[in-house]
Amino acid sequence: MKMEINKDIERILFTEKELSTIADNIAGQINTDYKGKELLVVGVLKGSVIFLADIFRRLSLDCRLDFITASSYGSGYESSGRIIIKKDIDTDIKGKHLLLCEDILDTGNTLFYLRQNLIDRGAESVRICALLDKPSRRQKPVTPDYYGAQVPDEFVVGYGLDYDERYRNLPYIGILKPEIYM
């Protein structure tokens, strides 16, 4: 597909086809692991929405969907340790199995906070599903229970991931040219 924002991408990391295979694999694991259980999938807005839509449609479980928005103090590029919930879930989570769905696990600050917050509010279990994992930058002890791929320490965009709210609509994931954000 020809898109005018393609020119800002240095290199494609995952094609549409590869992302579709990733969604097949992750959804397959979730379907197996939660067989016979009810699941509440909680999407972390906004970055997870495209990935989440692909995963959610592949689930054959009895499941519900909700969303949460977290924000951190500090620059837009990376999260600080201080996280606040800007938009909360609407669902009563006491005794429920939750799957937090996120675009990328980077420092881990956001998901470390959210997971503990949801456990403190009575969730029976909270697992993490992240499309991408950037383990080299981790600051908190958190690993994804389900993930698509590990990525090096470069800024990636597309398929929901943004830079300054742009590029979410790219159907693939690519590395942004450094001159765009420097």
Binding residues vs ligand XMP (CB under 6 A): 47, 78-79, 102-110, 155-157, 161-163
**Residue holding tokens 């917050």?**
117
Q: Pick from ligand XMP, Mg ion, none: which does 79 bind, CB < 5 to 8 A by kind?
A: ligand XMP
Complex with Mg ion: residue 55 or 61, whichever CB lies closer: 55
Q: Pick from Mg ion, ligand XMP, none: which does 52 bind, CB < 5 to 8 A by kind?
A: none
Complex with ligand XMP: residue 99 or 104, whichever CB lies closer: 104
CB of 17 to ligand XMP, least distance (A): 21
Return the structure tokens found at 35. Answer: 């067989």
CB of 124 to Mg ion, least distance (A): 25
Complex with ligand XMP: residue 61 or 107, whichever CB lies closer: 107
Complex with Mg ion: residue 11 or 86, whichever CB lies closer: 86
Return the structure tokens found at 67. Answer: 């969303």
Q: Which phi and psi angles does 172 have, rounded to 5°?
A: -120, 175
CB of 164 to ligand XMP, least distance (A): 9
Which residue is catalytic, options 106, 133, 145, 162? 106
Rounded to whole angstroms, how far apart are CA atoms 3 and 172? 12
- Among the listed residues 47, 108, 144, 148, the single contact to Mg ion using CB under 5 A: 47
How many other C-beta atoms are found inside a 10 Å radius of the C-beta of residue 146? 18
Catalytic status, residue 106? yes
Catalytic residues: 106
Binding footprint of Mg ion on the chain (CB under 5 A): 47
